[in-house]
Structure formats: C-alpha cells, structure tokens
C-alpha cells in the first residue's frame, strides 16, 4: 500500500527536522544542574550525612529528607519517600540531592558528601518475601493480594482426566525509551513550574501538590517526549519532586537529566513474575479447571503494583473458557528498585504464563499446540473468570483462524518437523549436527492474546476524564486534553478523530499545549485509553458542536439547516464549517467520561466487567536455531489484531511492528537480573535489545469489529502487540525441542542445556 500524505503523523516533520524541543533542548538563563546521591546498599540504616569542610558548600544547594515539606510521593499509597530519611530500601534509592551552576561542580560536591550506612539484611527473592523476618511492608510484605474465584476446583479435580503442573517465570524488562528521563523545575514567586519528559502531567501535579501543600502552586508542562512505554507514567513524579525541591531551596531553575546508566539502574522496570500453576483437563484436552498462584516482584515500594497486579490477574485466563478457576495473585516487596508501568501493564506476564500452560498441556497430551488452544478459545456470549459475559466486539476466533491461515501454519508445522528430525537425531547422538551450512533448526509457534482498554474495573468512573474543545478566532476547534504524545501517535489520532467527526480537514483542528494551567484533567496517558476513552469524548463533543451550530443557524435564518461533508446546507445557502464556527469564536464545549451504565465491576469480590471491551490478537512466530551456537533468530512474524477500528492505518501498523519487536526482545534478548540486590546491567553493552537487523519479516493484518462506544468503533491498541509476542516465540522453540521452556528470556545457553537433556535422555525430559 502506498502511503497517503493525508495520513502522515502530525508530529513527523518537526521531529524529522529537529525542530521539536525535547527537555534537553531548553535554553534557560541561569539554569542549575542537579544530581542525586544514592544508596549503594539494598537495605541499610542511614547513620549520618557529613559535609566535608574542604568544599565550599555556599556555592551549591544540597537537599536531604529534612528539607522536604511532606516527604512522600503520592501515588496509590504514600509509602515511598521523596528522599530516604532513616532507612534505604534499594540500591540507588535517593538519599540527597545536589544542585550547582555547572554539572562539574555538582559532581565535585558529591565527592565531598559522605553518607554513612549500617547495612541490614535484605529480601532478594519474591518467593521468600511473605515468610521473611525482614518487614518492608505490613506484616507479610504483600502490597496487594487478589483472589478471583469461579466455580469449584474440587469439581474440576473430580471430572479431570489429567492434571498438569508447572512453574512459569518472566524476567525484568527495561523500557529503553530513546530519551532518558529528564526534568526542569523553575521557581516563580508562589509557584513552581515543572517541565519534562512525561506521560501523565496530572500525576506529577498531584504528587507535587502534596509535597508542597500550601507552600507553592504547581504547574506541569509536557515537553516533547522521546518515548515512554509506561516508564514515564509513575517515575516522573519522583524526578519532578527532586528538581522542584532543588529549585525551591536554591531559588534557581534546576535541571536533572539522567544518563543511560542511571536510567537503566534506578528507574522503574517491568515486574518479574513467578507462578505456580495447576491445570485440569478432560480427555479431549478441554480445560475444566485452572489454579494459579501468581507473584509479582514489586521492589521496595508500592508505586503502581496493585493495579499492575490487577491487570495481570484479570488477563491470565481471558482468551479461554474455563468453568472452574482460582487465581491468587500477590504483589510482594523485595529490596529492589520499584517496578512500575510497562506497555501491557501485567498483561505480558499473564499471557506468557497462560500460553505456557497451553504449551505444557499440548506436550503432555501429545496434541498440537494450536489444537489445544482452538478447542478452548472463548467466544461471544461466554463468561470470563470474573463472570463477565462477552457481549460485543469479540474476535478471539477470528484472529486465531486468520493468523493460522495467512501464515500457512499447519503446512509449515509438518514441514519443519520433518526438516528438524535428522538434525535433532544427530544432536541426540552427540554427533556434529550439521551436514550442510543451512542445517538450522526451524520452529513455528503461536500465541493468543487480548488486552482490556482503559482503566481496570471502576477506574474510569472514578477518574472522570474531562475534555474541553474551544473554537478559536479563526473558527478552528482547539482540543484541550492532558493526553500526551510519546511516539504512539496520540496527536494525530485526536486531530483525525475530530476532523472525521466534523468532516473537515485535519489541518482545521488544533491541539492545545499540554500544560496543567490550560488543559483539564482528561486522565493519564496509560492503559491504551487515549483513543478509546478520551477519543470517545471527542466524537461526542463533535456531534454536540454540529447540533449547536444547526440550532443557531435556524435561529438566525428562520429555516432549518443540514450538515454534510463539512458544509451547512439551508435554503439556497451553503456555509463551510469554518465560516459558521468563526461566528462562535470563544465558544467552549466540555464533557466528562463515564462508562456505559451497564458496565459494572465489584472490586471487593473481583466480579463483573473487568474492562468494558477487549482488543484481540493472535500471532505466529517462526524461528531458526543454530544447532551449534544455539543462536536464536526470529525469521517471520505474523499477527492479526482486531482493534475495533484503525483511526490511522499506517500508524496502527507501526504500533504493531514496534510492540511486537519489543515483545521479541522480552523473549530472547533482554536479560536483566538482580545479583545481591544490584541490577546487573549498565547500558547497551550488557542490556541487549533487538535492532533493525533483528527485525523479522512481519506480516500484519488488522481486523475491525467496532466497539459501539468507542470513537468510530475504535478500541485500545498501543499495548496489545507487546502482550503476545514472547509466548509465540517461545512456543516455536518448544516446538523444536519438545521440551518445557517456561521462562523468559530464553538465551542460547538455555537451549544448549536443552540439547544436553536431549543427548542424555534420548529426548525424554
């Protein structure tokens, strides 16, 4: 398909030309530079902070816990301090801040600031957290526990022909946005203005309001943001607090810019997960029961873990119909940098877990991996684990069959099995596995996944996102929202939604700068909610606007008008939209979001409509594994996504490409581990992400099954592609070796070990 210039991203040119201003592009007179003094221990008592006399402290500003008016970062809870006061709970936890006229002087000052610690025992393993004598949170270190129960597992046990048990693990993942975290705070009389690379301006504003309660007013401005992926959802509240405190105490504007090492080691990551799973099936392979104990390793403070956990628990069994279910999910504390939001928000961990359960079943029942999935797929009219009846826009089977057909799955499966046979045979016999340079093992695997758009449960009704559209003096509608562009295409989507709703050119629509003094709180830019949730307010207001103008025209001329294709027709008059709108310059339209009233969720018992609707997808991954080096390459990746309606087709494809590749990285490249409380990566030397050369051939199809309450039927898209990529890749590796692989990332050394098992046991696990 040829690109249509009308579909270009509205932010593309300014970014390509280097005109877009990122936070590091700000030129502010008298700007000071801030840095952070961090704990070198996973857990320790702070004994003292000493200022070395050899340094001239009057030239710099130092902030410690004593200087913080209210020392907590308001998020779901208030447990995380802005600066540690008595105890540090993770390696890198901020203890003090220094600002100076130059970065060099600030670094020099840091050399002369001596913090003494008494190291304490710490929690290193999420499975040990509950029993540990070390108490990081409450009596058992559980930040949040969720139980989802349906039917009766005893019943499942009675009717089942087979019970399969397995443990599944997923690792950390780092966002690797192009632009590391950065923030500038500017003191202005009674106000502090904070500007930075961030997703959720009102989260930052609320957090700073609590810290400076009554002392300063707060304004938050969104700078052009070079990627976020959830990593700039909660963390910027802490960074903004640091910059603001330095600005408050020094009286100077202060910037804090993280370098890559600091960003990788000390900002949020994707939560690692561990789960113990038991699954009951009948003789045909139909699921009769599922029993899951699921843990998220949440790090030292609560941050967003309860909601990440909720999404994981509500996602796990989503694609399959299972009559008896028990999911016990816990977010537990460890002495590690707090994990936070990351594209998929618990979904990738959950779907990987469920898809490995299906893989294990297939192997134990000696069925094909796609067949076990096929007979268990949930469909319209059926009920999920929370008792939600899926009523509309359900495309689980459509995406599944479409991707199998387009990828030629069945034929390739047979072909690759045959192809692999002699190579595997030589491996088993311990002989040199290659007769020919092209002797690589070929895998094909699949995954089925979904993502609920918008906040979980009653979240949207609590937050009541507000949107405002104003007509400017030129008769152009200006959209005022707190939604932020971070590369996902929100600016293009918003302008296009209103342009289409009014049947005018996209150039006619403007967006207000995201500044909390100007824009209403439409909620955070998370949970793939901008297009579906906030976008629905845009179409609602668009309709209201036309209705209002039609009424006004009738009043003015005394006869009715009609609106079509951007023009008002009445009598023998034809008035373009802009001409009519111009007469209403200054007119304001506002609207607040509510879910359709029949969507109900009981947050005490975890019952009901967890999400108003789901986006659905399935993927097929093909891989090649070198039988000597065990190097893994994803060669082809097919995926079908059903997203209600693609607001901008090219951009939707790009989201699916990027998200899928990020999921491939999660599966086979990105390894980040905790060793003695320290994270073991420092930058791109030891944290490997897929690059263009690792990009497989991708074949993407978008299906549209409109959601009646989304703008033009659109549902959420941004996170979905990442959610199911890793299990598809691992499924293809399991297909090659016919052995359990239940953890990601999978590295060549893991496959080497599998080959050793093959060799020892002649293929028996």
| Positions in the binding site for ligand MOS (CB under 6 A) | 199, 230, 233, 341-343, 345, 526-527, 719
Q: Of all residues in this chain, which one has the CB nearest to ligand MOS in the complex?
A: 230
Residue 615 tokens read as 């986006």
Cβ closest to ligand MTE, residue 94 vs residue 711: 711
Kindly state the smallest distance separating residue 236's Cβ from ligand MOS, in Å: 12
Query: 47, 185, 159, 34: which is closest to 97 by C-alpha?
Result: 34
Kindly state the smallest distance separating residue 661's Cβ from ligand MOS, in Å: 17
From residue 134, alpha-carbon distances to 131, 139, 336, 732 in Å are 9, 9, 14, 41
Q: Which of 42, 347, 487, 710 binds ligand MTE (CB under 6 A)?
A: 487
* Helical pair 748-761 and 409-428, crossing angle rounded to 10 deg: 70
Q: Does 530 bind ligand MTE (CB under 6 A)?
A: yes
Q: Which of 531, 536, 623, 732 binds ligand MTE (CB under 6 A)?
A: 531
Cβ closest to ligand MTE, residue 299 vs residue 658: 658
490's contact among ligand MOS, ligand MTE, none, with CB below 5 to 8 A by partner kind, is: ligand MTE
Q: Which of 446, 527, 619, 679 binds ligand MTE (CB under 6 A)?
A: 527
**Dihedral-angle region of residue 495 (phi above 0 means left; psi in -120 to 50 means alpha; beta otherwise):** alpha
With a CB cutoff of 8 Å and minimum separation 6, the contacts of 572 are none
Kindly state the smallest distance separating residue 199's Cβ from ligand MOS, in Å: 6
CA dist., res. 678 & res. 92, Å (int): 9
Q: Phi/psi at 207 (nearest 5 deg)?
A: -65, -45
Cβ closest to ligand MTE, residue 291 vs residue 719: 719
Kindly state the smallest distance separating residue 495's Cβ from ligand MTE, in Å: 13
> Which residues are paired to 668 by β-bridges?
none
Q: Does 308 bind ligand MTE (CB under 6 A)?
A: no
Cβ closest to ligand MTE, residue 303 vs residue 490: 490
Query: 213, 249, 177: which is closest to 23 by C-alpha?
Result: 177
Query: 452, 225, 458: which is closest to 345 by C-alpha?
Result: 452
Residue 307 tokens read as 């909601």
Query: 169, 146, 143, 170: which is closest to 298 by C-alpha?
Result: 143
* Helix runs in 586-687, H state only: 649-668
Interface positions, 709-728, toward ligand MTE (CB under 6 A): 716, 718-719
Q: What angle do CA 217, 182, 210 make, to 5 degrees?
A: 30
CA dist., res. 490 & res. 485, Å (int): 5
713's contact among ligand MTE, ligand MOS, none, with CB below 5 to 8 A by partner kind, is: none
Kindly state the smallest distance separating residue 449's Cβ from ligand MOS, in Å: 15
Q: Of all residues in this chain, which one has the CB nearest to ligand MTE in the complex?
A: 718
Positive or negative, the Cα torsion across 661, 665, 666, 668? positive
Query: 300, 288, 291: which is closest to 329 by C-alpha?
Result: 291
Q: Does 343 bind ligand MTE (CB under 6 A)?
A: yes
The binding track of 201-230 with respect to ligand MTE, each residue x by CB under 6 A or -, is: --------------------------xxxx
Q: Tokens 């562009």 sit at which residue?
A: 485
Q: Which of 523, 658, 677, 710 binds ligand MTE (CB under 6 A)?
A: 658
Cβ closest to ligand MTE, residue 186 vs residue 527: 527
CA dist., res. 673 & res. 260, Å (int): 17
Cβ closest to ligand MOS, residue 183 vs residue 281: 183
Residues touching ligand MTE, count (CB under 6 A): 21
- In 10 A of CB 57, how many CB atoms? 14
Q: Does 181 bind ligand MTE (CB under 6 A)?
A: no
Cβ closest to ligand MOS, residue 529 vs residue 645: 529
Tell me the Cα Rg of the chain. 27
731's contact among ligand MTE, ligand MOS, none, with CB below 5 to 8 A by partner kind, is: none
619's contact among ligand MOS, ligand MTE, none, with CB below 5 to 8 A by partner kind, is: none
Q: Does 657 bind ligand MTE (CB under 6 A)?
A: no
Cβ closest to ligand MTE, residue 173 vs residue 655: 655
Cβ closest to ligand MTE, residue 179 vs residue 622: 179
CA dist., res. 168 & res. 366, Å (int): 20
Interface positions, 241-260, toward ligand MTE (CB under 6 A): none
Residue 422 tokens read as 């002699």
Kindly state the smallest distance separating residue 456's Cβ from ligand MOS, in Å: 11
Is the bond preceding 745 in cis, omega lying within 30 degrees of 0?
Answer: yes
CA dist., res. 191 & res. 215, Å (int): 9
Kindly state the smallest distance separating residue 322's Cβ from ligand MTE, in Å: 28
Cβ closest to ligand MTE, residue 150 vs residue 715: 715
Q: Does 651 bind ligand MTE (CB under 6 A)?
A: no
Residue 390 tokens read as 């899926």
Fill in the DSSP letter of residue 534. Answer: I
End-to-end C-alpha distance for the chain, whole angstroms: 48
Question: Among 41-49, 214-222, 354-362, 482-490, which window interacts with ligand MTE (CB under 6 A)?
Answer: 482-490
Kindly state the smallest distance separating residue 345's Cβ from ligand MTE, in Å: 7
Residue 68 tokens read as 């913080």
Cβ closest to ligand MOS, residue 32 vs residue 345: 345
141's contact among ligand MTE, ligand MOS, none, with CB below 5 to 8 A by partner kind, is: none
Cβ closest to ligand MOS, residue 479 vs residue 723: 723
Residues that bind ligand MTE (CB under 6 A): 227-230, 343, 486-488, 490, 525-531, 655, 658, 716, 718-719
């Amino acid at each position: 398909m040829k690109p249509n210039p009308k579909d270009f991203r509205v932010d593309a040119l300014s970014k390509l030309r280097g005109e877009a201003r990122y936070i590091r592009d700000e030129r502010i007179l008298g700007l000071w530079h801030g840095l952070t003094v961090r704990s070198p221990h996973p857990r320790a008592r702070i004994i003292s902070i000493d200022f070395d006399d050899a340094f001239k402290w009057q030239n710099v500003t130092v902030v410690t816990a004593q200087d913080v008016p209210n020392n907590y970062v308001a998020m779901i809870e208030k447990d995380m301090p802005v600066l540690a006061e008595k105890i540090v709970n993770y390696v890198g936890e901020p203890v003090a801040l220094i600002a100076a006229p130059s970065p060099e002087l600030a670094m020099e000052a840091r050399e002369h600031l001596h913090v003494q610690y008494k190291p304490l025992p710490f929690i290193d393993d999420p499975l040990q957290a509950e029993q540990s004598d070390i108490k990081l949170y409450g009596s058992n270190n559980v930040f949040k526990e969720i139980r989802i129960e349906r039917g009766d597992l005893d019943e499942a046990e009675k009717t089942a022909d087979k019970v399969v048990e397995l443990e599944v693990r997923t690792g950390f993942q780092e966002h690797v946005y192009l632009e590391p975290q950065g923030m500038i705070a500017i003191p202005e009389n009674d106000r502090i203005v904070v500007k930075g690379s961030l997703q959720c301006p009102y989260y930052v504003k609320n957090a700073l309001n609590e810290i400076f309660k009554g002392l300063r007013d707060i304004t938050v401005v969104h700078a052009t943001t070079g990627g976020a992926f959830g990593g700039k959802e909660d963390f910027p509240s802490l960074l903004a607090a640091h910059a603001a405190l330095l600005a408050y105490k020094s009286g100077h504007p202060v910037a804090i810019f993280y370098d890559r090492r600091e960003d990788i080691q000390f900002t949020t990551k994707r939560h690692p997960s561990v789960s113990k799973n038991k699954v009951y099936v009948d003789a045909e392979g139909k699921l009769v029961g599922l029993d899951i104990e699921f843990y998220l390793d949440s790090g030292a403070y609560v941050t967003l873990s309860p909601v990440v956990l909720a999404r994981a628990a509500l996602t796990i069994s989503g694609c399959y119909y299972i009559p008896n279910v028990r999911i016990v999910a816990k977010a537990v504390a460890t002495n590690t940098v707090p994990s936070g939001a990351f594209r998929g928000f618990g979904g990738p961990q959950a779907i990987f877990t469920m898809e490995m359960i299906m893989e294990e079943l297939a192997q134990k029942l000696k069925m094909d991996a796609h067949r076990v999935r096929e007979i268990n797929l949930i469909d319209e009219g059926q009920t999920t684990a929370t008792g939600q009846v899926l009523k509309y826009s359900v495309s689980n089977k459509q995406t599944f069959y479409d991707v199998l057909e387009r990828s030629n799955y069945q034929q390739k499966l047979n072909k690759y099995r045959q192809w692999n046979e002699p190579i595997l045979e030589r491996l088993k016999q311990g002989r040199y596995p290659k007769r020919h340079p092209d002797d690589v093992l070929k895998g094909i695997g699949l995954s089925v996944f979904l993502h609920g758009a918008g906040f979980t449960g009653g979240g949207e009704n609590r937050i009541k996102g507000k949107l405002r559209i104003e007509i400017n003096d030129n008769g152009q509608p200006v959209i005022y929202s707190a939604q932020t562009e971070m590369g996902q295409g929100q600016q293009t989507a918003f302008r296009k939604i209103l342009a289409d709703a009014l049947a005018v050119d996209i150039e006619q629509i403007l967006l207000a700068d995201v500044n909390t003094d100007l824009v209403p709180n439409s909620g955070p830019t998370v949970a793939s909610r901008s297009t579906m949730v906030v976008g629905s307010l845009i179409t609602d207001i668009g309709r209201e606007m036309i209705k209002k103008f039609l009424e006004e025209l009738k009043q003015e001329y005394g006869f009715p008008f009609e609106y079509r294709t951007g023009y008002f027709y009445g009598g023998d008059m034809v008035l373009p939209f802009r001409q009519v709108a111009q007469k209403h310059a200054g007119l304001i339209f506002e609207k607040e979001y509510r879910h359709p009233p029949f969507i109900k969720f009981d947050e005490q018992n975890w019952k009901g409509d967890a999400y108003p609707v789901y986006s659905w997808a399935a993927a097929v991954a093909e891989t090649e594994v070198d039988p000597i080096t065990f190097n893994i390459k994803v060669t082809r990746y097919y995926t079908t996504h059903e997203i209600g309606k693609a607001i901008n087709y090219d951009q939707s494809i790009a989201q699916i490409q990027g998200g899928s590749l990020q999921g491939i990285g999660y599966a086979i490249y990105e390894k980040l581990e905790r060793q003695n409380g320290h994270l073991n990566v420092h930058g791109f030397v030891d944290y490997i992400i897929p690059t263009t050369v690792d990009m497989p051939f991708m074949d993407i199809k978008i299906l549209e099954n409109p959601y009646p309450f989304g703008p033009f039927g659109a549902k959420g898209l941004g996170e979905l592609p990442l959610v199911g990529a890793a299990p598809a890749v691992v499924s293809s590796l399991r297909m090659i070796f016919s052995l359990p692989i239940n953890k990601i990332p999978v590295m060549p050394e893991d496959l080497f070990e599998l080959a050793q098992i093959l060799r020892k046991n002649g293929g028996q696990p």
